[in-house]
Amino acid sequence: MAQSQGHICLCLGRILALRRDSLVAIAGRNRRTGGEFVDGVLNLARGLVESGVRKGDIVAIAALNSDWYVELLLAVTYVGGIAAPLNYRWVYLHTAPLCHIGGISSCIAMLMAGGCHVFIPKFDAKSCFQAIEQLHVTSFITVPAMIADLISCGRKANAWNNRDSITKILNGGGGLSEELKKGASCLFPRAKIISAYGMTEACSSLTFLSLHDPSLQQSGKLLPVKHKVELGLRCHQQNGVCVGKPAPHIEIRISGSCKNSHASSIGRILTRGLHVMVGYWDQTQVMMLDSIDQGWLDTGDIGWIDCNGDLWLIGREKDRIKSGGENVYPEEIEALLLQHPGVHSAVVVGIPDFRLMEKVVACVAIRDDWEWVDQKSKCLPEKKQISTDILHNYCVKGNLSRFKAPKAYIPWRKPFPITSTGKLKREDIRKEVVSYMQLHSNL
């Protein structure tokens, strides 16, 4: 059976060489050694060929996470087919689903490293803790919503075993707040917490940043002041959010900046390398800022690179608000609002405005022990209260430019809508804000 050129099944030989008789996959009660796993892949590949699958054929995969899922994924590519993982939309809280780039890329990395895979069908905090306790899990990937669930479940459990086995947590799908970072480091005291920035079209992660490293604390080493600032991930000035340095095989530059300069101006973030996709399925061309021959992929994000080579993310181009002829990026305002002790979460959107073209509006969810006070009520200094005036003054004191300051603040009393991978559904929030503003303007 011929193997397609340069494909991921090269890991099968490594698994046989290093882990033939050792466990490489655990899914419920099912245990598979390296030899059994490779045999499973080859048997599936043989069955696919006998069923008529040929090079270039598309094979859809609709399943929950399991060892069989990975075997089928490898078997399809082994015979030269194209695996098309289908997503179950009713799954909301899960860890690295294999139908998403984060799950697939991490799975391939572990296959190449010859690690042991532990599968749970979908994420829930209780199942995750059970796997850690019973199977001595050493690492996992996560998104902010998942970390929040783990922290909540961990506090209820009070004491549980083997939490020291976790040595690495990779977070994607959005930055971790200071509160979540502290909670995760207390829950998993030996874990190095790393944040990743990337996109599906670039095969997942582009840059990495260490958020918490217990080995530095144990050795008595102190982080440089500059590094401490970067680890905060909540800069609210034009610097944006530091997302770290690119992996060794990845090129990153800013459009319009000098290619030979160590520091750059603000612009669109471009990336080039073997990690960049060939193109979108059934489309002849990928939207790239430079020529396709040069291979630079436009990420759609705005940022800059400092003199140390760290990438700073300002925001998504598609989320940019055009207000009074000025560019406003929601992430900058959200980062500032989150520093207020009474703010639990915040989302900033732009809504149509006759005069400004778009008006900046902040949706704010306050903490449980704080109270939202309307304009007609008087705030009492001795009480934990938040109002539109208080938030506006906070933004002014935080040196937020006048045109960036929200023109309205809406108290948000329910969870913000997110995708199955924990990413914010900003457009859904914007539509709801437009309806809210229209309703209140007619009262």
Sheet bearing 241-246, strands edge to edge: 139-142, 168-171, 192-199, 204-212, 241-246, 311-316, 297-305, 267-272, 251-254
How far apart CA 429 and CA 422 sit, in angstroms, is 15
Confidence check: pLDDT of 65 > 60: yes
355 Cβ contact partners less than 8 Å away, ≥ 6 residues apart: 324
DSSP 382-422: TS-EE-HHHHHHHHHHTT--TTTS-SEEEE--SPPPB-TTS
Mean pLDDT of the chain: 82
| Mean pLDDT of all residues in 285-291 | 46
Check: CATH 2.30.38.10 for 244-278+290-317?
yes
Per residue in 30-48, pLDDT tens? 899 999 999 999 999 999 9
Q: What is the pLDDT of residue 269?
A: 92
Domain ranges for the chain: 1-119, 244-278+290-317, 322-441
How far apart CA 63 and CA 76 sit, in angstroms, is 15
Per residue in 106-122, pLDDT tens? 888 887 766 788 888 88
How far apart CA 169 and CA 206 sit, in angstroms, is 17
User: Looking at 4-13, 62-71, 91-100, 220-229, which range is the least confident one?
Assistant: 220-229
Tokens of 186: 């207390």
Q: Identify the CA nearest to 300 among candidates 284, 282, 310, 286.
A: 286
Per-residue pLDDT band at 200 (split at 50, 70, 90) = confident
Per residue in 231-262, pLDDT tens? 444 443 456 788 999 988 899 999 865 554 44
Per-residue pLDDT band at 130 (split at 50, 70, 90) = confident
Per-residue pLDDT band at 432 (split at 50, 70, 90) = very high
Helix, strand and coil percent figures for the chain, each rounded to 5: 35, 25, 40
Strands (E), 151-295: 168-171, 192-199, 204-212, 241-246, 251-254, 267-272
How far apart CA 140 and CA 154 sit, in angstroms, is 16
Check: CATH 3.30.300.30 for 322-441?
yes
Q: What is the pLDDT of residue 10?
A: 82
How far apart CA 245 and CA 253 sit, in angstroms, is 12
How far apart CA 149 and CA 152 sit, in angstroms, is 5
More confident residue, 204 or 442: 204
Q: Looking at residue 333, what DSSP letter applies? A: H
Q: With residue 24 as reference, give the H or E element that holds it.
A: strand 23-27
Per-residue pLDDT band at 131 (split at 50, 70, 90) = confident
How far apart CA 246 and CA 268 sit, in angstroms, is 16
Q: Which of 141-155, 201-215, 372-386 shows the highest mean pLDDT?
A: 201-215
We find that the CATH architecture of domain 1-119 is: 3-Layer(aba) Sandwich (3.40)
How far apart CA 143 and CA 136 sit, in angstroms, is 21
Q: What is the pLDDT of residue 280?
A: 75
Per residue in 320-367, pLDDT tens? 898 888 888 898 899 899 989 999 999 999 999 878 889 999 999 999
Q: What is the pLDDT of residue 161?
A: 65
How far apart CA 305 and CA 252 sit, in angstroms, is 9
Encode 296-330: b = buried (16+ Cβ within 10 Å), e = exposed: bbbbebbbbbeeeebbbbbbeeebbbebeeeebbb
- Judge contact between 422 and 173, C-beta under 8 A: yes
Angle between the N-to-C axes of helices 330-337 and 388-397, in degrees from 0 to 180, rounded to the nearest 10? 110
